[in-house]
Structure 1
């Protein structure tokens, strides 16, 4: 057993959540006539894409095949808009190198589908840092269910209490707490600090990874 760092991806490794918001707003309102405000769209942006569609439209509105097609269309719109902005959050490149040098295992536990994981990891050439990747397709239940992080830990041969999760969203922090894991929260424009007050597993709030020291996190 060994210590491990588990990363959410969207909003945690790259600052792309506003672009997901725009893509979902476009799909839900202009394509599917949901009639939602931006705030209402943002409130639904967690978990798997098909789960979001069920929350908005109700079960049975779309077949799984239709939801898969809507999901793919949304991700292609997001990728096209975000591509020129694709970069790691400040300090993360050095943090990953330092973590690797310290022989700390790393995994990604995300609600993203493989097309988006490939977009980020291969677009930024960082796949080699992660021996384990758990996507939306690999779990039965999304965050705040702890399945994604517990699966990451098991695949890395790490105890939950020896894992630190890096997250940007309350549902992700809740999932980490449900898994018995501590969390570092990356501040973004999508969430405010007061949204995390109920969670006792948060050990730090950061604006960039330059604020973190790998050795201190492992102490």
Structure 2
């Protein structure tokens, strides 16, 4: 199976920062008088854009202007506190993976629920911006994941049909969005456990990071394959359930 384009989620997929995001969000919501525990935040917000998060967990009647102001304040806090850490937070094997894909002539895009400013902050901080010929951020979509809109826009920007795209994601909502867009996917267990990701429709394999993905044929490296396993029923192998997740 071959693909002409790769589409990457960002938070938790390119950069190991989801736990940090949750910390900032829960602190920020508590400061607004709307405390929420981490588990509830994960369950209700993964894949959603800021407007959806704020209207769900803070106030449903927020105006667009209020959403813009609150989002700006939260993201400024996130960037200020994450900046000293960013250089060490690339998901292992990422740069080598991107370089190999680039050499193979694969077109690449980022499709993220983050805003454009945060997206540039991460891509430039990791020194990987040059690999991507298209960006789709929260400003470009009306609905967050699991709606497929974000991935369909990315494919359109790359000039390739959805079925020619392979998506890299770390969340069930993102994997569902890819499937609904008519795309196959690779799941990274940086945020959720392998058991929570394995067997979902369209997922070719589940891996802990990019060092465990063989680009040639997109098979998991032998050390990550379950003994005697022929895959997850979706055309590919699977990361061994129960192995330590990052």
User: TM-score when scaled to structure 2?
Assistant: 0.82
1:1-219 to structure 2, matched below 5 A, reads: 3-29=4-30, 31-46=31-46, 47-60=48-61, 62-86=62-86, 87-188=89-190, 190-197=191-198, 199-217=200-218
Give the ranges of 4+ consecutive aligned residues of structure 1 lying more than 6 Å apart after TM superposition: none
TM superposition shift of 1:58:
4.3
**Greater relative contact order (Cα < 8 A, sep 6+):** 1
Quick check: 1:3–1:159 contact (8 Å CA) kept in 2?
A: no
Q: Distance in 1 between the 2:138 and 2:37 partners?
A: 26
User: TM-score when scaled to structure 1?
Assistant: 0.92
TM superposition shift of 1:44:
2.8
Backbone CA RMSD of aligned residues: 1.6
Q: Distance in 1 between the 2:154 and 2:36 partners?
A: 35
Tell me, what secondary structure is at the counterpart of 2:217?
A: helix
Quick check: 1:182–1:202 contact (8 Å CA) kept in 2?
A: yes
Deviation string 1:17-51 (CA, Å, 9 cap, x unpaired) is 0110000001111x211132221222233311011
Q: 1:107 to 1:56 in 2, by over 3 A?
A: same
Q: Distance in 2 between the 1:37 and 1:155 partners?
A: 37
Structure 2 spans left out of the alignment, 5+ residues: 220-246
Quick check: 1:113–1:136 contact (8 Å CA) kept in 2?
A: yes
Q: Distance in 2 between the 1:123 and 1:76 partners?
A: 15
Q: Distance in 1 between the 2:37 and 2:212 partners?
A: 35
Which structure's residues are more often helix, by fraction?
A: 1
Tell me, what secondary structure is at the counterpart of 2:204?
A: strand
Q: Distance in 2 between the 1:35 and 1:81 partners?
A: 20
TM superposition shift of 1:192:
2.1
Q: Distance in 1 between the 2:98 and 2:37 partners?
A: 37
